[in-house]
Structures are given as structure tokens and as C-alpha cells.
Chain A
Amino acid sequence: ELKVEQNPLFLSMQEGKNYTIYCNYSTTSDRLYWYRQDPGKSLESLFVLLSNGAVKQEGRLMASLDTKARLSTLHITAAVHDLSATYFCAVTMWYRDDKIIFGKGTRLHILP
């Protein structure tokens, strides 16, 4: 059974600081996703990571994937308050109809 683990589950940090969210998954997968969810809103796609060593950046967020370690990271650089949200990683079970399984999410609170 595919399991996706994120840590930390809650992160409170000061503006201007850097931090990393980690996502581990238990079995082989071919795609990893990062999503953002604001309170009361749906999910917004941030990154799609398709291969080992993939790195994508958008603004202050950078995501990477190590398929051998079954690990993805979401790095936040010089955090700003607008990045406060819940971040989910998700992995596809390509051998089971492409359904995606989500981690528990990391609730990020950035203090001004």
C-alpha cells in the first residue's frame, strides 16, 4: 500500500527565513505533485515532478525529487506572509489507475 508522509505537519516561521518541507513515499511512483490549499479553498497545483533529480522553482518555492530515496522537498526561501497555507504532496499510483494519494499536509504559518 502506498503511503505518503510529510513533515513537519505544522510549521510556524518568521518572515525572511528559509525552511524545507519533506515528503517521503513508500513505493515506486512515477509522478509527484505539490499543492497549496488556502483556508476554505480548493487545491492549487504548484509543481509536477516527473523524474529523478527534477527541480522546479516558482518565486520563493523550489521543489525537488529524488526517486531513489523516495523523497521530495519543498524549499521556501525568504518566506513572506502570503505563503501561509497548507501544502500537500501527492504521489500517483501509476499501476493503479493513476489515482493520487496525498500526504497529511503541512500547515505553514508565517509570522510577520
Chain B
Amino acid sequence: SAVISQKPSRDICQRGTSLTIQCQVDSQVTMMFWYRQQPGQSLTLIATANQGSEATYESGFVIDKFPISRPNLTFSTLTVSNLSPEDSSIYLCSAPFGPNAGYTFGSGTRLTVV
């Protein structure tokens, strides 16, 4: 099955700084998705990252706060900028691998803002 490598696995960041999270897929995928999971909560979709075009953001998420890059079909980054304690969450990337397969998730990045 497909593998998505996500890093860093965790980080502690100062307020006002930024963190960039990377996801590397072991095969080419058209779309990648970025999610946020706050403690004890479900997953909330941040944006869809397509190669060769700008990411599509969900309501409540903006590009200035969560810039996304998708330079090729196997890689994407999510930056969480101007960090505040409210950004402390787990961030996950995901990609679909065919109509009969589930979506595979990266291992997640646990971000703590102090």
C-alpha cells in the first residue's frame, strides 16, 4: 500500500514564528489534502493541494495563514504562519490512491505553540 512520509513528527514553536510541514508520497498522486485535528476532535479539512495550481482552501482557512506548496506529484508542504497558541494541533496530510482504496494519511505533526 502507499506510504506518506510526514515530517516533522512534532515541534514546539514560539508565538509569531512559522512551521513548515512536509509530506512525501511514494507514488504520484493528483491531489493531496491537509487536515487539522485539535485535541480530542475530529479532522477538519484545511485545503486541497493540486499540482500546478493554487491550493483550494476551506471556509475559515486562508492562504496567508496556511500557505501550501505542491511542486510535483509526490510532494507538498503546509506552512502554519504567525503562530499563536490556538494553532496547537495535529496536522495531517492525506492522499487517495485509486477509487477502491482508502485515503492514506501521513503520520501527523504535533505542533505546540508556546
Contacts and interface: CB of A to CB of B under 8 A. Distances in A.
Interface of A: 31, 33, 35, 40-43, 45, 47-48, 50, 88, 90, 97-105
B108 A42 contact: yes
Nearest to B47: A99
Nearest to B110: A40
Contacts of B42: 88, 102-105
B60 interface: no
A45 B103 CA distance: 7
B45 interface: yes
B114 interface: no
B33 A42 contact: no
Interface majority SS (helix, strand, loop, mixed), chain B: strand
B92 interface: yes
A98 B102 CA distance: 12
B108 A48 contact: no
B45 to A, nearest CB: 6
Contacts of B41: 104-105
A48 B98 CA distance: 11
Residue of B42, B92, B96 with most chain A CB atoms under a 10 A cut-off:
B42
Contacts of A40: 110
Given A42-B108, A88-B43, A105-B42, A99 B102 contact: no
